[in-house]
C-alpha cells in the first residue's frame, strides 16, 4: 500500500513510553492500521508521519529494548 493511500485523519495516537516526559523528544505511534505502524513527532502533529511495516517496527522495538543502540552496543 502506498503511503498516499493511508488515511491517518482518524488515527488515535499514543506517546511512546520511552519519550521524554518534559514535552520534548516525543514520538507518537498509532495502532489503527493492521500491518503498518504510523510514527510521528508529537511536537509537529500536522507534519508527516512515517509508515513502518509492523515486522520492521517490532524488530526496531526489540533492538531498543535490548539496548542495541546504546553507546555500549548492548553490553
Model pTM score = 0.73
pLDDT single digits (tens) 50-64: 999 999 999 988 988
pLDDT single digits (tens) 19-51: 666 666 688 999 989 999 999 998 888 999 999
Per domain, the residue ranges of the chain are 13-65
DSSP-assigned letter for residue 7: -
Between the alpha carbon of residue 71 and those of residues 25, 43, 67, 68, 75, the distances in Å are 18, 26, 9, 9, 9
Task: Check if the beta carbon of residue 54 is closer than 8 Å to that of residue 40.
Answer: no
The pLDDT value recorded for residue 23 is 60
Amino acid at each position: 500500500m502506498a503511503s498516499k493511500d493511508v488515511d491517518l485523519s482518524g488515527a488515535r495516537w499514543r506517546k511512546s513510553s520511552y519519550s521524554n516526559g518534559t514535552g520534548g523528544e516525543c514520538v507518537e505511534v498509532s495502532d489503527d492500521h493492521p500491518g503498518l505502524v504510523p510514527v510521528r513527532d508529537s511536537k509537529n502533529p500536522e507534519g508527516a508521519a512515517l509508515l513502518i511495516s509492523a515486522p520492521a517496527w517490532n524488530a526496531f522495538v526489540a533492538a531498543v529494548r535490548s539496548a542495541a543502540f546504546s553507546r555500549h552496543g548492548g553490553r
